[in-house]
Amino acid sequence: MSSPLATLYDRADALCNLAPWGWMKEVELLAFRHPALPELAYLSVMGAQGDHRCLAVYLGEESLHRINLIHEAPYLGIDLDADDQVGLILESRQLQVSFSSRAQLEKYDLDQIKSLDRKYRGKVWPQFRSMRPGRAAGPLDDVEIEVLTAAITQVLDVAPRISAGLVTDSRRTPRFQILGREQGPDGQWRDFWHNFDDTEYVFPTTGCDPELAREVARLRTSVDVQVAFTLLPTPVGPRFGEQSYPYILMAVDSKSGTVMGVEVLSVETCTHEALLAAVPDVLLRLLKKAGARPALIRTTSYRTASLLAGLAKELNIAIHREREIPELEAALHSLRGMMMRGPM
């Protein structure tokens, strides 16, 4: 009998051979209800542009809302910067199977493929990943293997029917609906129609420590401050599957271009929610240490502006979002380079 892992590779090979990205678009989602999942999931086939060929399984409504924001932001007048978009994608809870060259695989993947006596040539090497907020992509657990295998199987069923014009992937009713797949009481998989939730993700706004804010407000020196809060997509940690992404919080004096303070945050010491909630107080501590209170906060990031809205209200100052802040970007670029070159 084939093992669950071998079955997953069989399904992945079939998906690669079918190449549904030739006619399915990333935004054409399929709903997916699996007995092992507490929430509905959404399947997205990527690769229409010929670059990243992949099936993503977005787990839960928050992941869907994040993807909705990415796609709808231009139409809503929301100007997401590159850091916003990277965070929205890498922090979405999801499972993935992608296909690439051998050089892009980890030793973990190659050992797994060797143990199953599989052979590949070219850019068809399968790679399976589980993604969690703040964590670098890692291996699947047993339940995730089952879920991803079932998800691929549903795409193998639906994609040829869509290609042949036997079924549409969406329909117009009083509410927009998308096609879904679910397992019935008899264990058989079947189609269903799902009212699509088009809600866009809202970046969190968190408060700050009022006493700490008052201490900073009493500082004599007043500066125009540029602030960046960004995820660095370079895994940190000794072992694959146990790595996380560092987050950088940086403050720069607009007038002089001097870095006033930098803090590196990580989910290694707290939850992702707690990490985000700590950002305003961490910034206040950086400003206090620098001996300056902000007269104005400038940022290019929609998320950073949202996270600091409570702090700005407490200090009775404004936050300006700007398309470009050269001094801040130069300081970030330098710090990214040092962090990516040196051991952490």
What's the total number of domains in the chain? 2
Is residue 202 assigned to a domain?
no
Whether 32 shows a pLDDT value over 90: the answer reads yes
**CA distance to 21, 117, 205, 232, 240, per residue, from 235 (Å):** 28, 29, 26, 8, 9
Whether 344 shows a pLDDT value over 90: the answer reads no
Which of the listed residues 165, 195, 225 is the one where a domain comes to its end? 195
By CB atoms closer than 10 A (0-12, 13-18, 19+), residue 6 is: middle
Rounded to whole angstroms, the Cα distance separating 244 from 90 reads 11
Which amino acid type is present at position 322?
E
The per-residue pLDDT for range 163-212, each reduced to its tens digit, is: 999 998 898 888 899 999 999 999 999 999 999 999 999 999 999 999 99
Q: By C-alpha distance, which of 334, 290, 298, 326 is closest to 226?
A: 298
Which of the listed residues 172, 195, 218 is the one where a domain comes to its end? 195
Q: By C-alpha distance, which of 146, 115, 159 is closest to 41?
A: 146
The per-residue pLDDT for range 80-129, each reduced to its tens digit, is: 999 999 999 999 999 999 999 999 999 999 999 999 999 999 999 999 99
Whether 1 shows a pLDDT value over 80: the answer reads no
pTM: 0.92
Do 106 and 130 fall into the same domain? yes
The per-residue pLDDT for range 250-283, each reduced to its tens digit, is: 999 999 999 999 999 999 999 999 999 999 999 9
pLDDT > 70: percent of the chain:
98
Do 141 and 286 fall into the same domain? no
Do 185 and 279 fall into the same domain? no
Q: What is the pLDDT of residue 88?
A: 96
Is residue 200 assigned to a domain?
no
Do 252 and 330 fall into the same domain? yes
Is residue 321 assigned to a domain?
yes
At 342, the pLDDT band (50, 70, 90 cuts) reads: low
Domain holding 317, by residue range, is 210-341
Do 234 and 306 fall into the same domain? yes
Do 331 and 228 fall into the same domain? yes
Do 217 and 183 fall into the same domain? no
